[in-house]
């Protein structure tokens, strides 16, 4: 099992998660686009399931694999791509942004029926 970044992260890569990961297993696509959306990805091979990142994500975008909502099921193989297609990814950088408000988080989750 590993933790998974879901589409809730898309275009909101504030990277609070990256700075707490003890094994640096967050990756970003070198060329974000249709194939690899502009979000972060957790390497399932490197993640040690410490769970430290999950509460740090202001967008509530990180889930343990077994708890990933059905609407984000395709994000599980998408995260795996940073292991199977490593040339397409690079280590995520820490870039700090203002965290979203509770209303913004709720609004985004509602778009996915959460």
Per DSSP (E only), the strands in the chain are 3-5, 26-29, 41-42, 62-64, 89-91
Helical spans, DSSP H, in the chain: 75-84, 102-111
Nearer of residues 56 and 88 to ligand SF4, judged by Cβ: 56
Kindly state the smallest distance separating residue 87's Cβ from ligand SF4, in Å: 21
Nearer of residues 62 and 78 to ligand SF4, judged by Cβ: 62
Binding site for ligand SF4 (CB under 6 A): 3, 5, 9, 12-17, 20-21, 23, 25, 40, 42, 47-53, 57, 59, 61-62
Residue 100 per-residue DSSP state: P
CB atoms within 10 A of CB 38: 14
Nearer of residues 22 and 33 to ligand SF4, judged by Cβ: 22
């Amino acid at each position: 099992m590993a933790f998974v970044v879901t589409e809730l992260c898309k275009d909101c890569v504030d990277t609070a998660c990256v700075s707490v990961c003890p094994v640096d297993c967050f990756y970003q696509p070198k060329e974000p686009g249709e194939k690899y959306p502009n979000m972060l990805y957790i390497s399932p091979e490197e993640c040690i399931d410490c769970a430290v990142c999950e509460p740090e994500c202001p967008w509530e975008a990180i889930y343990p694999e077994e708890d990933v909502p059905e609407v984000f099921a395709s994000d599980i193989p998408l995260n795996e791509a940073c292991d199977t297609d490593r040339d397409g990814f690079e280590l995520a950088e820490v870039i700090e942004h203002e965290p979203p408000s509770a209303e913004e988080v709720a609004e985004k989750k509602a778009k996915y029926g959460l």
